[in-house]
Amino acid sequence: MPTYKLTYFDIRGRGELIRMLFVLSGKEYEDKRVQFADWPKLKPTLPGGSLPILEIDGKVYTQSLAIAQYLAKEFKLSGKTSLECLRVDEVVHTAEDMLQAMAKSMFEKDETKKKEMIEKLAKEDVPRFTKIFESFLTENKTGFFVGNSISAADLAVYNVLESAITKLGEAALKDSPKLLENRKKVAADSKICNYLKKRKQTDM
Ligand SMILES: N[C@@H](CCC(=O)N[C@@H](CS)C(=O)NCC(=O)O)C(=O)O
C-alpha cells in the first residue's frame, strides 16, 4: 500500500473531495492542514504554488481534480465502465464549476458588491447547478449519480452543496428533492457518517 499525504488549507474547499475519497475507501492518509499564516512561506516551495498537493510515497502531485480522479480509480469509486467514468468526471467537473461560482463572493471585500453577488448566487447560480444535478439523478434513477452506489460524483456534489447550504441555508435545496435524497444516502454510509460527525466546521 502506498503512503499518502494530503496537504491543504484548514477548510473543505478543493481538499475535501480528496479527503472524502480516503474516508469512503477506508484507506489511511495523512491530512496535513496548513494555516493561512504559514502559507506565504510554503507557497514558493511548491511545484504549482498552490494547494492541494498529494504526496504518494513521497512524490508530489498537484491539481485537485486529477488527484481525485486518480484516487477514485484506485479505490474503485470512478465508475465501472468508460461511460460511467465519463459521467462521474462530468459531475465532478460540474461541481468544480459550481465551487468556482461560489468562491467569487467569498473574496469580495466591498460589502455592497458582496451582498449583490450572494443574491445572484441564491437566485441564479445555485439554482442553475442544482437543476443540472437533479437532471443527472432523474436520469440514473437509483438515487446515486452513477450506478447504484456512492462514487466520486456523489462526494463532489455533497461537498459543494455543503458550501451552498452554509452560505444560503437549507433553502438552497428547497426545489431539489432528489439532491436531498442523494445527500441522505451519502451521509448514511457509516464511514462518511462518522467522518461528518467529527470533522471541523468551516465556512467553505
Ligand atoms: N486547479 C487547481 C487550483 C488550485 C488552487 O487555486 N488552490 C487554491 C486553494 S483552493 C490556492 O492554493 N490558493 C492560494 C494561492 O494560490 O496562493 C486545483 O484544482 O488544484
DSSP state letters, 145-164: SSTTS--HHHHHHHHHHHHH
Kindly state if the Cβ of 51 falls inside 6 Å of ligand 1.
yes
Q: Which domain holds residue 117?
A: 82-189
pLDDT tens, the chain, 204 aa long: 999 999 999 999 999 999 999 999 999 999 999 999 999 999 999 999 999 999 999 999 999 999 999 999 999 999 999 999 999 999 999 999 999 999 988 888 999 999 999 999 999 999 999 999 999 999 999 999 999 999 999 999 999 999 999 999 999 999 999 999 999 999 999 999 999 999 999 988
Specify if 150 maps to a domain.
yes
Specify the pLDDT at position 97: 98
Mutate to test the pocket of ligand 1, among 12, 51, 65 (most ligand atoms within 8 A of CB): 51
Specify the pLDDT at position 104: 87
The CATH code of the domain that includes 14 is 3.40.30.10
From the alpha carbon of 13, which atom of ligand 1 is closest? 10
* pTM (2 d.p.): 0.97
Specify if 202 maps to a domain.
no
Tell whether 49 and 90 lie within a shared domain: no
Tell whether 92 and 166 lie within a shared domain: yes
Residue after which a domain boundary falls, among 35, 61, 76? 76
The CATH code of the domain that includes 151 is 1.20.1050.10
Tell whether 22 and 59 lie within a shared domain: yes
Specify the pLDDT at position 106: 83
DSSP string, 7-73: EEESSSTTTHHHHHHHHHHT---EEEEE-GGGHHHHGGGSSSSSS-EEEETTEEEE-HHHHHHHHHH
Q: Count, in order, helices (H) and strands (E) of the chain.
A: 9, 4
Residue after which a domain boundary falls, among 76, 107, 131? 76
Q: How many domains does one find in the chain? A: 2
Kindly state if the Cβ of 202 falls inside 6 Å of ligand 1.
no
Specify the pLDDT at position 168: 93
Contacts of 125 (CB under 8 A, 6+ apart): 98, 101, 102
Whose CA is closest to atom 16 on ligand 1? Answer: 50
Q: What radius of gyration, in Å, describes the C-alpha atoms of the chain?
A: 17
Contact between 175 and 126 under an 8 Å Cβ cutoff? The reply is no
> Which three three-digit cell numbers place residue 84?
460511467
